[in-house]
Amino acid sequence: MKVSVVTPNYNGERFLKAFFESLNGESEHIGEVIIIDNGSKDNSLEFIRNNSFDFSVIVIENQENRGFAPAVNQGILKAKYEYIFSLNNDTEVKKGSIKHMVDLISSRQDIFSVQAKMLQYDNKDLIDDVGDEYNLLAWTKKTGENHPSDEYVEVGEIFSSCAGAALYKKSLLEELGMFDDKYFAYMEDVDLAIRSKINGYHNLLCPQAVVYHIGSATSGSRHNEFKVRLAARNNVWTVYKNIPIPLKILNFIFLFLGFLIKYIFFLKKGFGPVYLSGIKEGLSRRNEIQKTKFHWKNTINYLKMEYRLIINTIKFLKR
């Protein structure tokens, strides 16, 4: 069983040599690599055209930066294979990883996604991300970040796979509506994971699959105006579209405190007004977002998700 690798690219020429070399080592498991170029101004396209690879490379050229979520969706729609490997361009894949991910995701029909063990590119002894968690404060946390790389060695349930190195089933992506184009970037994978959990699917960590990740290669830093504003806006949308009214009421105080604490944090970082502008945009434009339809048949899944959010909040408060 082969996969379609789907990778957005925006001025990522400096990463492409190492990226493609690592994929060449996985060529027997790759049916195609789809690069969605978001209007790069560097020589990314020339590099791809002037090099040969051990698999088919398809390039979708956008005239402008359409964002991560829309670009990945373009790749998904173009893909020929059932398994979609969403992979950042600033990564290297360890040999054998794709097979481990395919073996795991194909083992059960109720698995929606499989997350690779992401290690820090500049310090491979430390974890970058082994799955994203979400809690009642509407905070997302990278599991395992800065922990030793020899931790998290068992397959296990995670709240959300990070779309920087995650394998999805195309049929389920289409069933759930894929990534939300409106998000542009940030939180789109958590939003998708929530929808998968509402519908009874599971997201798993595959620790045998290893991907080395540089991180913040496109946005430029961990905190900047662009990232802070979009993440704040998208977090509002994630709550608005996916959480039914009874749970919004039940969790209101936690949600309020979560956004307030984040504002104070970013205020100290010098991004307070930017964070508020993202919140205001999220609220003012919320009706542009298509809400996840509530079905009574999914009630037990909502309750399971609420339980997970409670557990994640307790773990966070005990830190």
pLDDT digits (tens, 9 = 90+) for 42-62: 999 999 999 999 999 999 999
The tally of CA atoms less than 13 A away on the side-chain side of residue 274 is: 16
Instruction: Kindly report the number of other CB atoms within 10 A of residue 62's CB atom.
Output: 18
Give yes or no for residue 219 having a pLDDT over 70. Answer: no
Give yes or no for residue 218 having a pLDDT over 70. Answer: no
Quote the pLDDT of residue 174.
Answer: 97
**Do 22 and 97 meet the contact criterion of CB atoms below 8 Å apart?**
no
pLDDT in tens, 226-271: 999 999 999 999 999 999 999 999 999 999 999 999 999 999 999 9
- What one-character-per-residue DSSP string does 168-208 give? EEHHHHHHHT-S-GGG-SSSHHHHHHHHHHHTT-EEEEEEE
pLDDT in tens, 16-25: 999 999 999 9
What does the chain come to in residues?
319
More confident residue, 218 or 19: 19
Summarize the confidence of residues 163-192 as an average pLDDT: 97
Quote the pLDDT of residue 65.
Answer: 96
Confidence of residue 124 (pLDDT cuts 50, 70, 90): very high
Mean of the per-residue pLDDT values of the chain: 96
Confidence of residue 317 (pLDDT cuts 50, 70, 90): confident
Strand partners, 5: 33, 85
Residues of the chain within CATH 3.90.550.10 domain(s) are 3-213
Give yes or no for residue 216 having a pLDDT over 70. Answer: no
Summarize the confidence of residues 218-226 as an average pLDDT: 72
Summarize the confidence of residues 126-131 as an average pLDDT: 97
Which distant-in-sequence residues (6+ apart) come within 8 Å of 234 by Cβ? 183, 184, 186, 187, 188, 191, 282
Give yes or no for residue 220 having a pLDDT over 90. Answer: no
CA distance 263 to 268: 9
Give yes or no for residue 38 having a pLDDT over 70. Answer: yes
Give yes or no for residue 309 having a pLDDT over 90. Answer: yes
CA distance 99 to 143: 23
Summarize the confidence of residues 200-220 as an average pLDDT: 87
CATH topology of domain 3-213: Spore Coat Polysaccharide Biosynthesis Protein SpsA; Chain A (3.90.550)
More confident residue, 318 or 172: 172
Quote the pLDDT of residue 215.
Answer: 81
Quote the pLDDT of residue 61.
Answer: 97
pLDDT in tens, 67-95: 999 999 999 999 999 999 999 999 999 99
Summarize the confidence of residues 154-168 as an average pLDDT: 98
Quote the pLDDT of residue 217.
Answer: 54
Quote the pLDDT of residue 1.
Answer: 87
